[in-house]
């Protein structure tokens, strides 16, 4: 069985012409699983909370203060860590055992 951490660590980065990371790609299945988990989570932190910036950067100035690539990487990592226990619980069932060998 693939853990959420393993699935997110398999993400690929999109780079610009200078080699700077500008986006992160995950498979549609991983993306949908993350979205579904977040929709059902009891508590979902804000992006600023995940980045540890809630008290440091006003909402309106967030994009101008934080490089987008760093924000993407931090958000991906944070989502990955937050989702691990829930995915393990949801995916640990006989119906999903067929996916263990993928």
Q: Tell me the pLDDT tens digit for each residue of 21-34.
A: 888 888 888 888 88
Residue 80 within a domain: no
Region 4-14: what's the mean pLDDT? Answer: 81
Residue 53 within a domain: no
Q: 70 pLDDT band (50/70/90 cuts)?
A: low
CA distance 94 to 11: 26
Instruction: Please determine, for residue 17, whether its predicted confidence score (pLDDT) is greater than 80.
Output: yes
Residue 37 within a domain: yes
CA distance 43 to 65: 26
CA distance 79 to 8: 9
Residue 14 within a domain: yes
Phi first, then psi: what are they for 10, rounded to 5°? -85, 0
Q: What is the pLDDT of residue 71?
A: 66
Q: What is the pLDDT of residue 11?
A: 86
Total number of domains in the chain: 1
In 3D space, the residue among 52, 41, 100, 42 whose CA is nearest the CA of residue 75 turns out to be 52
Residue 97 within a domain: no
Q: What is the pLDDT of residue 10?
A: 83
Residue 26 within a domain: yes
Q: 67 pLDDT band (50/70/90 cuts)?
A: low
Residue 1 within a domain: yes
Residue 12 within a domain: yes
**Domain extent for 1:** 1-46
CA distances, 79 to each of 2, 75, 95, 98 (Å): 16, 6, 25, 25
């Amino acid at each position: 069985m693939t853990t959420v951490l393993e699935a997110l660590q398999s993400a690929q980065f999109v780079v610009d012409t200078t080699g700077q990371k500008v986006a992160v790609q995950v498979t549609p299945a991983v993306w949908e699983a993350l979205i579904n988990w977040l929709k059902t989570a009891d508590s979902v932190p804000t992006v600023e909370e995940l980045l540890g910036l809630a008290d440091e950067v006003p909402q309106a100035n967030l994009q101008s203060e934080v490089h987008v690539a760093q924000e993407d990487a931090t958000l991906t990592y944070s989502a990955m860590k937050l989702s691990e226990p829930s995915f393990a619980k949801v995916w640990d069932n006989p119906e999903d055992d067929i996916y263990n060998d993928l």
